Structure 1
Amino acid sequence: MKLNYILCSLSLITLIGCSRQRNLVYFSDLTSKSETSNMVMNDGEPRILKNDVLSVTVNSTSPESNVMFAANTNNVNANGFYEKEGYRVNEQGKIKFPVLGEIKLDGLTVVQAQGLIESELNKMVKNAVVNVKFMNFRITVIGEVNHPSTFTVQNEKINLLEALGMAGDMTPYGKRENVLLIRETEGKRTMVRVNLNNKDVLNSPYFYLKQNDVVYIEPDKAKSVEYSNSNRMMPLIVATISAVAVLATTFLNR
């Protein structure tokens, strides 16, 4: 009986030890003995999209002009209410700016938008300096990460690794080779999977995130097994078998 109990225990240990090992190393195909250098193919410069909310500030040598352009009474949201701050890009890709009226910014970078507004303002105000910022640049990281949440990005530029860092990195169960990215642009939803074990992801158009991107980290099958109802009963089953084996051994040795 003792021999059978030992054999059963060894079999259980062997089965656990033979479970599939996963690659938990990012860019594991990079060799450790050589230096890798590549041109940055995608600089991640975000583009202004419809429904974005922008902060637009104007500074010039005229205090009166500064006050006038700081007014935000022309900014009306989709529900017809005035917003306290920020200019929403409407369905035509335009914002309503004081004095200038409607300005089309859809598809421009922040720098391009600043240049366009400055060129229009300088027709009536000398030395106008414009600063444009996103107010809704947020990304969401969910799934097998330590701190899933929605994060506001202050510098308007973030890549997948930085997003995972903000979320506390993946848990050991996170599938680094199969990260799901969900992106909505111009009414179109794109879902793509990227492999963070492969260095080629650095040149992917999805390495840098855009406003409102959602990153989902899928759990490995091992977690499903661990948290299944049958597996939750495993410690109780093992303890019961051990107790029965001990009692049987004691009874037979009498």
Structure 2
Amino acid sequence: MSINFLSRITALFLFLSLLCTSCISKKEVLYFQDIEALNNQSDNTNYNTIIRPDDLLSITVSSQDPESVAIFNPMAGASNALRTTNERLGTYLVDSNGNIEFPFIGTLQIANKTRVEAIALLKGEVNKYAKEAVVDIRILNFSISVLGEVQRAGTFTIPNERITVLEALGLAGDMTIFGERKTVKIIREENGVKSYGELDFTSIDVVNSPFYYLQQNDVVIVSPNKAQVQSGAFNRNSTIFISIAGIIISVLTILTR
């Protein structure tokens, strides 16, 4: 038995081992394999963004008579230089008690309300002093994070305050082929309480999950699939395998002399 033959056998063994650890079936990577079930299905999801402590809000009050609402708009009376140097002018941070301090009106409890409810509350207060005022509230720091087996992990700011988990994965460049589609995790915090959900992206039923629409500060985590874990383990142990293979070749060479 020649050394070349033994070397080839060993190399073949290592190649087959690597191949086995990297196998991924089509069924493991295809999205929504039962998508036919989506036909004629109505969207019954009642999605509303909830204002929470630490949200940074932009609040503007407008009217056909700008002077009547000027007291509610710090930006209105500010000079261009002040607007440039103070980007936070006209923004309001919701404190840990869920309150904001609004000009002329004072303290307003605004946390745990939807944006529509908060607008109605503030409009009711403003209209005590200025009739037919229009109030707009925007969450400036609405962001979500996507981590794990995706092309571009990171934190993304969402200007329209509405995003699905599919859109979030799109922002992150989609899952890699090594992402586990069946157990994508969403970590969420509401009123100081953390919770999480798991989504199976091989099933279209994901669109019916309460985690389909993301809330601010949600974290999406894509775990590596079995093939990636096994491949990583093989790569970590490849030096050991090669060393063992070298010893085996040496021993067999001595024995066959």
Taking structure 1 as the reference length, what is the TM-score of the superposition? 0.78
Structure number with higher helix proportion? 2
Rounded to whole Å, the distance in 2 between the matches of 1:122 and 1:233 is: 74
2:70 to 67, 71, 92: 67
Provide closer, same or farther for how the CA distance between residues 10 and 37 of structure 1 changes in structure 2, counting only shifts above 3 A.
Answer: farther
Cross-structure match for 1:103: 108
Cross-structure match for 1:220: 225
RMSD (CA atoms): 3.0
Provide closer, same or farther for how the CA distance between residues 239 and 18 of structure 1 changes in structure 2, counting only shifts above 3 A.
Answer: closer
Provide closer, same or farther for how the CA distance between residues 236 and 4 of structure 1 changes in structure 2, counting only shifts above 3 A.
Answer: closer
- Report deviation, 1:212: 0.5
Cross-structure match for 2:239: 233
Pairs aligned (count):
234
Q: Is the 8 A contact 1:44 1:209 kept in 2?
A: no
Structure 1's unaligned 5+ residue stretches are 73-82
Matched, 1:188 2:193: yes
Structure 2's unaligned 5+ residue stretches are 76-87
Taking structure 2 as the reference length, what is the TM-score of the superposition? 0.78
Matched, 1:41 2:44: yes
- Amino acid in the other structure paired with 1:102: T
- Report deviation, 1:56: 0.5
Kindly report which structure 2 residues correspond to 1:146-225, keeping only aligned pairs within 5 A, or say none. 146-225=151-230
Q: Is the 8 A contact 1:43 1:208 kept in 2?
A: no
2:126 to 118, 121, 133: 121
SS in 2 for 1:102: strand
Rounded to whole Å, the distance in 1 between the matches of 2:38 and 2:129 is: 54
- Amino acid in the other structure paired with 1:160: V
Deviation track 1:65-118 (CA, whole Å, cap 9, x = no partner) reads: 34321128xxxxxxxxxx544212223322211112122222222122212212
Rounded to whole Å, the distance in 2 between the matches of 1:155 and 1:85 is: 19
Cross-structure match for 2:34: 29
Rounded to whole Å, the distance in 2 between the matches of 1:238 and 1:25 is: 38
SS in 2 for 1:163: helix
Q: Is the 8 A contact 2:74 2:89 kept in 1?
A: no
Provide closer, same or farther for how the CA distance between residues 181 and 35 of structure 1 changes in structure 2, counting only shifts above 3 A.
Answer: closer
